[in-house]
Structure 1
Amino acid sequence: MSDLARVEVVGCGLMGSGIAEVCARAGRDVVVVETGPAAAEAGLRRVTRSLERAAAGRPTVAEQRAAAGRIAVTTDMARLADRDLVVEAVAEDERAKTEVFARAMTSGCAHPLGPLALADLIGPDTVQAIARSMYAEYREPLYAPPPFLARMVEAGRLGRKTGRGFHPYPGRLAGQDERG
């Protein structure tokens, strides 16, 4: 088996269920994460029906059952901690995708904050200064501050310092510390 023995699929709609099925049929251990028990059950039914509809020349009944046995469906994002590969397959909705990314970074990867929340804590202006310094030192384009970050800084969206950065921080005023 390859280095990608354990796969996680976040979302079990049409695309996610297909990805989970292909990975399971390829012999991978698959965990699918859904938003709730009803969505998890529906996703598992979708994968099972697809395996059962396999046409002639495709997997035998025994192979279909073996593939189904390699798929676990859960609502616990923390299950992705031991996965070699995580595939995001949620609805094409920015809020849903952002939620999955922030939850995956904090729950599954054991980071105390997602990367954008961390940037807000540090301050986009500080992140921009660090990027400029690294770019000046190494002249590698990948270290140059992204234009979006520069626009945020120009607009005064300095994260927790100003109450708005990548995320909003309602009730926070400039200069207010964590205790209020």
Structure 2
Amino acid sequence: METKVGVVGGGSMGAGIAEVVARAGDPVLILERDEIAVTAAAARINSSLLRAVHGGKLTQKACDDARSLITTTLSVDDFVDRELVIEALPEIEEMKSELFRRLDAVVSPTAVLASNTSSIPINRLANATAHPERVVGMHFFNPVPVMALVEIVVGLRTSESVASYVTNYVAERLSKDPIRSGDRAGFIVNTLLVPYLVSAIRMLESGFARAEDIDSGMVAGCGHPMGPLKLCDTVGLDVILAVTDSLYDEFRESQYVPPPLLRRMVEAGRLGRKTGRGFYTY
């Protein structure tokens, strides 16, 4: 049975989430801020679908079927019939909280509100709603159509029925691998990953080694599929900075303090692949 899904934000993460939902056969409505953003989101999804077709991972019919299930809107009021809404806005707590407040007033009391946040505790977002028991984390990984993992983040007030519902949806409908995390900044993956990435940035910043050598060392020496600095560029340096800030705010441990180089690069707009320049040039 199909689920009517809403996705808020059509950036790289939101577009990827919308794509996998549509490929699973569920109608998905994307909320964006303006027509320019709608056009950009549609282009991202179309490009990804065509890559899957050309790579032999998707038939042309499946591509067309998925595309037909994706619609867009500029009004949150159009989410009134959505059964599951997944927020994929930038990692700005105030922005996300305001959205959850608006969604809470629009959707059915039985609808599930999920956040794709990679670091903000779910309990804080739930505070913006009158129904905190239906707020949960669904943290996808980039690129969403390729990466199998989804962290299900259960807040202190998230109901077990909601946690089980999204876990089953991810596993059975989206054919991805859910893992359950408690509700603290960074969850499972980023709590372990970020200190590693921060260490690599500090190593580069100190002049100890070149970016290429740091990355080659971890790929060839440790069997990682991608080096830490290239991974930072892929994720987005703005996202890495937001996660480090959130982790440090939560734990106050030195391993989570963002290196000055990371902050300067974000201030300069060198965010990685999405801007054409980060630790590498693309």
TM-score strictly above 0.5:
yes
Aligned partner of residue 5 in structure 2, secondary structure: strand
Is 2:33 the partner of 1:35?
Answer: yes
How far does the alpha carbon of each residue in 1:13-56 deviate from its partner, in whole angstroms, 9 at most, with x for none?
11110100000000000001011221111111111111111153
Report if aligned partners of 1:79, 1:108 keep a CA contact under 8 Å in 2.
Answer: no
1:109, distance to aligned residue in structure 2 (A): 4.5
Give the counterpart letter for 1:10 in structure 2: V
Provide the C-alpha distance between the structure 2 equivalents of 1:29 and 1:104, rounded to a whole number of angstroms: 18
* Backbone CA RMSD of aligned residues: 2.4
Q: Closer, same or farther in 2 for the Cα pair 1:116/1:5, shift >3 Å?
A: closer
Aligned partner of residue 25 in structure 2, secondary structure: coil
| Structure 2 equivalent of residue 81 of structure 1 | 80
| Structure 2 equivalent of residue 22 of structure 1 | 20
Provide the C-alpha distance between the structure 2 equivalents of 1:46 and 1:98, rounded to a whole number of angstroms: 26
Report if aligned partners of 1:77, 1:108 keep a CA contact under 8 Å in 2.
Answer: no
Provide the C-alpha distance between the structure 2 equivalents of 1:14 and 1:101, rounded to a whole number of angstroms: 20
1:78, distance to aligned residue in structure 2 (A): 1.2
How far does the alpha carbon of each residue in 1:82-122 deviate from its partner, in whole angstroms, 9 at most, with x for none?
11111011111112212211221223458xxx97487xxxx
Higher CA-based Rg: 1
Provide the C-alpha distance between the structure 2 equivalents of 1:17 and 1:100, rounded to a whole number of angstroms: 18
Is 2:55 the partner of 1:59?
Answer: no
Q: Which runs of 5+ in 1 are unaligned?
A: 119-140, 143-180
Aligned partner of residue 53 in structure 1, secondary structure: helix
Q: Closer, same or farther in 2 for the Cα pair 1:17/1:116, shift >3 Å?
A: closer
Is 2:109 the partner of 1:93?
Answer: no
Give the counterpart letter for 1:81 in structure 2: V
Report if aligned partners of 2:22, 2:66 keep a CA contact under 8 Å in 1.
Answer: yes
Provide the C-alpha distance between the structure 1 equivalents of 2:98 and 2:10, rounded to a whole number of angstroms: 16
What is the TM-score when the length of structure 2 is the normalising length?
0.38
Report if aligned partners of 2:98, 2:128 keep a CA contact under 8 Å in 1.
Answer: no
Give the counterpart letter for 2:97 in structure 1: T
| Structure 2 equivalent of residue 5 of structure 1 | 3
Structural mapping, 1:1-180, within 5 Å: 1=1, 5-54=3-52, 55-109=54-108, 116=128
Provide the C-alpha distance between the structure 1 equivalents of 2:64 and 2:129, rounded to a whole number of angstroms: 42
Give the counterpart letter for 1:28 in structure 2: D
Provide the C-alpha distance between the structure 1 equivalents of 2:86 and 2:106, rounded to a whole number of angstroms: 15
Provide the C-alpha distance between the structure 1 equivalents of 2:128 and 2:48, rounded to a whole number of angstroms: 38
Give the counterpart letter for 1:56 in structure 2: G
Give the counterpart letter for 1:29 in structure 2: P
1:75, distance to aligned residue in structure 2 (A): 0.9
Q: Which runs of 5+ in 2 are unaligned?
A: 110-125, 131-155, 158-282
Provide the C-alpha distance between the structure 1 equivalents of 2:128 and 2:97, rounded to a whole number of angstroms: 10
